[in-house]
Structure 1
Amino acid sequence: MLTITHTHEAGTMVEGTVRGDGTAEILKAQRWRWGRSIAAWFVPQSRDRLPKWHTINAAATALRAAGFEVATEIDEATRSTAEVEAGKIERQEQRAGALDSKADRKATAADQAQARADRR
């Protein structure tokens, strides 16, 4: 059973997929994207917005046509502007921290590569 969910905070996502089940091709064709950090298929730019019914319905129809059982759980309630902005700031801080860590790892790898090259 696949479930297409939408909340203002999380956006539109599909739950219940597994690698190799055939959903990837269908969802890609419907312009959904795979989010590695959230380990789920999602509709780009759906967070903090009302549900994109045409996208949700098209994906559900395509998935059902391929033999999948699909349910939808759509919450159209919105968050306040302050909550939306606080969420953006939190995600930006997390992203900045992740990029700092990545830069440190890359710098270490570059230093090690340079040391190996110098030894040769």
Structure 2
Amino acid sequence: MTAKSSLIEFKTDRIVCLDRANLHLFAEVIDTIEISARCWVRPLAIARSHPENFNLEFLHDLRDTAQLILPSELFRYALDTEVLPLISELFHPAPDSIRSTNAQRVLYQFIADLYRSPCG
């Protein structure tokens, strides 16, 4: 994927991604907090990547979960090739899509695992 962006580069309403192994948290930037180098984001979804075919598998719709404030260095701008299918899936889900009923717990677990793992 791409190199991580600096705080100055993040723009309001842009989609960013936080990568952890083959899981990706996509979020919309609400604002940046320059004094503490943090980014205030609205989570959108978690997806899993498949390196063998470069596809993302949509896993959890996080639009109804809590907003986050995390170090900006954890994020990178999401690529158009990631965002377009994601937005399509969020707003026009496939008929056989399974929606998570525990999105808040999934988000908390993702963040907890992020801080537990040494590779971040």
Q: Same fold (TM over 0.5)?
A: no
Higher strand share: 2
Greater gyration radius: 1
Q: Which has the higher contact order (CA 8 A, sep 6+)?
A: 1
Higher helix share: 1
